Structure 1
Amino acid sequence: MGQQGFWDIEERQQKLEQKKAVLNRLNQLVPWETFRPILMQIREKPRKSQAGRNPTDVLLLFKMLVLQKLYNISDDELEYQVNDRLSFMQFLGLGLEDRVPDATTVWLFREQLQQHGLVEALFEQFGAYLQGAGYAAKDGQIVDATLIPVPKQRNTREENQTLKQGEVPVEWQETPHQLAQKDVDARWTKKNGTSHYGYKNHINSDAGFKLIRRYSVTDASVHDSQVLGELLDADNSGDGLWADSAYLSVLIVEVLKLIGFESAYK
């Protein structure tokens, strides 16, 4: 028998299968095609031209969002990890020769889902499949937040002041092409003395299976503790809560104790 090479993809994929990783298990449990009718709502408008590259498969992009929430990573990190990790490619049904959607494509897809009000319905359906397969959350909850950077805006001081007031500068409204290139919802925040511009991805995963149960996306300026209430999962029968100290003020800790949660810093 000849010596197998390091890049023997078939052998490595077999080893991944044998390990029964969580991503392989998800592909076995979740009937992904059932999500397609909901996802296709963002493509209801007919294409103006058939020229150019075909749109990226909506189901592929949705599974990338599942990966992102499962591992709590940014759009740029998601693009890198899908290109780098065989387990991610296998989960998505991609080969080494296939093109991986870039971070901008993922961001635009997520924006379209939000604009159509589809995000909650999709992840409630996803959670229902997990519950039906016996992945009930019962060992406590882990809450965390990840900064999602976006390209910095070249705005004037007056424009930024208008945005902070929740309004769009009049000049942008009069020039739709300029407005289309502006992110009017991202905000600045400072962490460990470094300024960041973009959003925050707040997640709640169960301590047992490490699967995302709840999430919230805010601009970066929103303090972690402000979304704790909507992140807590009443269906998780465990009473433990693991969280960064940013979530747990003295008052919040006392309230959590009153409703039956034992908190732990991480």
Structure 2
Amino acid sequence: MSQPGFFDLDNRYESISKLGDPLEVLDQAIPWETFRPVLSKALRKFKKSNAGCKPYDSVFMFKVLVLQSLNNLSDDKTEFMIKDRLSFMRFLGLDFEDKVPDAKTLWLFRDTLTNKNAIDKLFRRFNRYLDRAGLFARQGQLIDASIVPAPVQRNTREENTNIKQGEVPEEWQKQPHKLQQKDTDARWVKKNGRSHYGYKNHVNADRKHKLIRTYVVTDASVHDSRAFDSLLDSSNTGKQVFADSAYRSKAINSTLKEQGLKNEIHHKGYRGMPLTEAKQRVNHKRSKVRATVEHIFGFQQNSLGGKFIRTIGILRARTKIGLMNLAYNMKRYVFLTKNKPINATE
């Protein structure tokens, strides 16, 4: 079988485009260069190897991370898929003869961004671009949290007790390699009668555009309401704040009043004090609005390859979850601006 030539490859790309390549649409819609200043600052001392090899372009590597997040791939699987799929290659601007970053290089690049807290800065930079594109946060805030599963740790009871007390088990301290494979930050939580292990993705989405405006990452055991104050978005033009009954408290109500916001949090029933029919009707009405934020988590689960993360520790979890939220916003941006001219200046 003869090797494909330039025109053969060009015809194949044309065929993929006609079938509808979502990566091609995304690549054309996202202003990738807007991320370069943040990346350059975070990667000033980043090198691919100690041998002095020329590092990959920072925006190129960032696009690899986005591609990975869009499909929830491991580092090894990401390397394989880039080599295997024409649509991945075109998204990254690669030709057959170009070198593909290996899994170790990708891990090192992402870890460098993690240590510089760069993902949150990249997320906020894209949100500023959304504002310039006219997609301001409008019509109120939708707040909710979703559990993000992590690999379950097989620890002894004594080890788990040490972890809960914020201590590192003595045996692990003697074995650094074992400690590197142990997640001392993830926690168990019970929800709807089922136990879950991992982290939580707390988000605030605007009602108008269904874009994530702020997010907070915690371990799974943290109550949803504890992230509430950090999630509030003062830039939203709407005054209403929607959330489920887990967020209803006197403290949160006071916070909303102080900031001039309208409390649209679900009413909560108590033992011996069930909700009145009037409050049930109010909750039902609010549920129709609040369901939007559930759709965000559903999209991440069903369209971004699932929410499961493979990293160890909350710092890396924040990076992976932050990238997942950014990938969602990018996809949402493409949907919102489809067939619409956008003029967003830097």
Equivalent residue, structure 2, for 1:221: 221
Aligned partners of 2:23 and 2:88 also within 8 Å:
no
Q: 1:177 aligned to 2:177?
A: yes
Provide the rounded CA distance (Å) in 1 between the counterparts of 2:22 and 2:47: 43
1:117 CA displacement: 2.6
1:31 match: secondary structure: helix
Match in the other structure for 1:44: 46
How does the TM-score come out when normalised to structure 1?
0.69
Rounded Cα–Cα distance in structure 2 between residues aligned with 1:162 and 1:55: 43
Amino acid at match of 2:161: Q
Alignment-derived partner of residue 27 in structure 1:
30
In the alignment, the residues of structure 1 paired with residue 213 and residue 172 of structure 2 have an alpha-carbon distance, to the nearest angstrom, of 38
SS in structure 2 opposite 1:167?
A: coil
Bigger relative contact order, structure 1 or 2 (CA pairs below 8 A, ≥6 apart):
2
Aligned-partner residue type, residue 212 of structure 1? I
1:30/1:209 CA distance change after superposition, 3 Å: farther
Report matched runs for 1:106-121 at 5 Å.
112-121=112-121
Contact kept, 8 Å, 1:30 with 1:126, in 2: the verdict is no
State whether structure 2 residue 130 is matched by structure 1 residue 130: yes
**What is the number of equivalent residue pairs in this alignment?**
239
Q: For residue 195 of structure 1, report the CA deviation from its aligned partner.
A: 0.5
Alignment partner, residue 66 of structure 2: 63
1:12 aligns with 2:26: no
Superposition pairs of residues 1-266 of structure 1, within 5 angstroms: 8-13=15-20, 23=26, 26-28=29-31, 31-40=34-43, 44=46, 47-48=49-50, 58-64=61-67, 93=92, 112-249=112-249, 252-253=252-253, 255-256=255-256, 259-263=260-264, 264-265=286-287, 266=290
Report the Cα distance in structure 1 between the residues aligned to 2:15 and 2:101, rounded to whole angstroms. 21
Larger Rg: 2
Measured on the aligned residues, the alpha-carbon RMSD in Å equals 4.3
Task: Name the amino acid aligned to 2:181.
Answer: Q
Shift of 1:204: 1.1
- Which whole-Å deviations, capped at 9, do the CAs of 1:42-81 have from their partners, x for residues lacking one? x726625699xx999531255358869xxxxx778xx99x
| Corresponding residue SS for 2:136 | coil
In the aligned structure 2, how far is the partner of 1:24 from the partner of 1:55?
Answer: 16
Distance change in 2, residues 1:44/1:125 (3 Å):
same
Look up the match of 1:71.
none
The structure in which a higher percent of residues are helix is 2
Q: How much does 1:227 deviate?
A: 0.4
CA distance in structure 2 between the partners assigned to 1:123 and 1:247 by the alignment: 25
Which 5+ residue runs of structure 2 have no aligned equivalent? 1-13, 265-285, 291-346
User: Aligned residues: percent identity?
Assistant: 40
More deviation, 160-169/244-253: 244-253
Amino acid at match of 2:163: L
Q: Distance in 2 between matches of 1:149 and 1:241?
A: 27
Q: Alpha carbons of 1:229 and 1:147: their partners in 2 closer, same or farther (altered >3 Å)?
A: same
Assess if the C-alpha contact under 8 Å between 2:241 and 2:261 holds in 1.
no
Provide the residue aligned with 2:295 in structure 1: none
Aligned partner of residue 161 in structure 1, secondary structure: helix
Which sections of structure 1, spanning at least 5 residues, go unmatched? 1-6, 69-73
**CA distance in structure 1 between the aligned counterparts of 2:16 and 2:255, rounded to whole angstroms:** 52
State the distance in 1 between where 2:22 and 2:165 align: 54
Give, in angstroms, the shift of residue 232 of structure 1. Answer: 0.8
What SS is found at the alignment partner of 2:197? strand
State the alpha-carbon separation in 1 of the partners of residues 145 and 73 from structure 2: 14
Displacement after TM superposition at 1:234 (Å): 0.9
Q: TM-score with structure 2 length normalisation?
A: 0.55
- Cα pair 2:27 2:91 within 8 Å, conserved: no
SS at match of 1:195: strand
Distance in structure 2 (CA, Å) of the matches to 1:182 and 1:150: 11
Residues 151 and 255 of structure 1, relative CA distance in 2, 3 Å threshold: same
Deviation at 1:151, TM superposition (A): 0.9
Give, in whole Å, the separation in 2 of the partners of 1:241 and 1:187.
28
Read off the aligned partner of 1:256 and give its amino acid letter: L
- In structure 1, the partner of 2:279 is none
